Amino acid sequence: MSVHKSNIKKITTHQLKEMKNRGEKISMLTAYDFSMAQILDAAGIDVLLVGDSASNVMAGNETTLPITLDHMIYHASSVVKATKRAFVVVDMPFGSYQGNSSEALRSAIRIMKESGGHAIKMEGGSEIKESVMRILSAGVPVMGHLGLTPQSIFKFGTYTVRAQEEAEASKLIEDAKMLEECGCFGIVVEKIPAKLAERVAKEVSIPIIGIGAGNGVDGQVLVIQDMLGITKEFKPRFLRRYADLDTVITDAVSNYIEDVKAGDFPNEGEQY
């Protein structure tokens, strides 16, 4: 049997755990398409998340609920094709795993087979334990997601900081330990107090990746459109913008329109 092997060393779940052990922070960003994933991978990102936030930033929906398994597989296969080094995690969309563990396993297997992704991510704790275990037992790496879980937005009614009360904080710690015991390779914690996130990262041995969860965790994740300044209206306190692509793109497109209208593009050197 002959297989093509690239020289680039791919990130694995084992390496992510080692990074935590030696105190090296893990970098993670979302990606939904080939061109962007290629740039992020070449820049050296450790983990690419094909997030169901594609529902918001790619499809223009208000919530993550409408995106389907087929949509996620489409986005994920584009990202996987672009990736040489990063570990690619794919979100299980709303409705693809909450029903029962057989359905959850079927959905996870479809993602792995049809997109080529390296792992799946699921929102929730004890409520989804059976599905998490069943997927793990099929050999599919699972990442948990606790704290603000956008797929449950209509249950909570707001996107405010989670687990500020003792009862919710204790459940979150218990859920994190449960996910670790089941064999998850990591957990995203979203919009929870920094002290609580730090405690979780200390009390479990698997990598804890934060978004709006402070600096005491093992790595950070952001939505790529947010950190590049494309989604201008979205301004949560936790977001740091690393570029103002809205302005860059608007200026470029305005210049293009001006050149086309003036008959200035293409010039002689830009034609055959």
State yes or no: is 190 an active-site residue: yes
Counting contacts by CB under 6 A, is residue 48 touching ligand KIV? no
Three-class SS state of 262: coil
CB of residue 221 to ligand KIV, shortest distance in Å: 5
Among 29, 37, 221, 228, binds ligand KIV (CB under 6 A): 221
Instruction: Give alpha helix (H) positions in the chain.
Output: 13-21, 34-43, 54-57, 69-82, 101-115, 129-137, 153-156, 166-182, 194-203, 224-227, 245-261
Largest CA distance in the chain: 70
User: Of 190, 233, 258, 270, which one is the catalytic site residue?
Assistant: 190
Q: Which stretch binds ligand KIV (CB under 6 A): 47-55, 69-77, 136-144, 234-242?
A: 47-55
Question: Which residue, 69, 47, 72, 48, is CA-closest to 58?
Answer: 72
Counting contacts by CB under 6 A, is residue 176 touching ligand KIV? no
Q: How many residues bind ligand KIV (CB under 6 A)?
A: 11
CB of residue 206 to ligand KIV, shortest distance in Å: 16
| Residue closer to ligand KIV (CB basis): 41 or 190 | 190
Q: Supply the DSSP string of 80-104, one letter for each residue.
A: HHH-SSSEEEEEPPTTSSSS-HHHH
CB of residue 244 to ligand KIV, shortest distance in Å: 21
Instruction: Tell me the C-alpha distance between 79 and 93, whole Å.
Output: 17
* Distant-in-sequence, close-in-space partners of 138: CB < 8 Å, separation ≥ 6: 105, 108, 109
Among 211, 217, 228, 230, binds ligand KIV (CB under 6 A): 211
Residues that bind ligand KIV (CB under 6 A): 30, 49, 51-53, 91, 188, 190, 211, 221, 223
